[in-house]
Chain A
Amino acid sequence: SQELEQSPQSLIVQEGKNLTINCTSSKTLYGLYWYKQKYGEGLIFLMMLQKGGEEKSHEKITAKLDEKKQQSSLHITASQPSHAGIYLCGADMWPRYNTDKLIFGTGTRLQVFP
Chain B
Amino acid sequence: NAGVTQTPKFQVLKTGQSMTLQCAQDMNHEYMSWYRQDPGMGLRLIHYSVGAGITDQGEVPNGYNVSRSTTEDFPLRLLSAAPSQTSVYFCASRFDRGNTGELFFGEGSRLTVL
Residues of A within 8 A of B (CB): 2, 6, 9, 30-31, 33, 41-43, 45, 48, 50, 88, 90, 92-95, 99-107
Instruction: Please name the residue on chain A nearest to B96 by beta carbon.
Output: A100
List the B side residues contacting A100 at CB < 8 Å. 31, 48, 50, 56, 97-98
Number of A-B pairs, beta carbon distance below 8 Å = 69
Interface class of chain A by DSSP: loop
Query: Could you tell me how many residues of chain B have their Cβ less than 8 Å away from some Cβ of chain A?
Result: 26
Q: Is the CB of A106 within 8 A of B41?
A: yes
Q: Is the CB of A101 within 8 A of B107?
A: no
Q: Is the CB of B42 within 8 A of A43?
A: no
Q: Chain B nearest CB: distance from A77 CB in Å? A: 23
List the B side residues contacting A41 at CB < 8 Å. 107-108
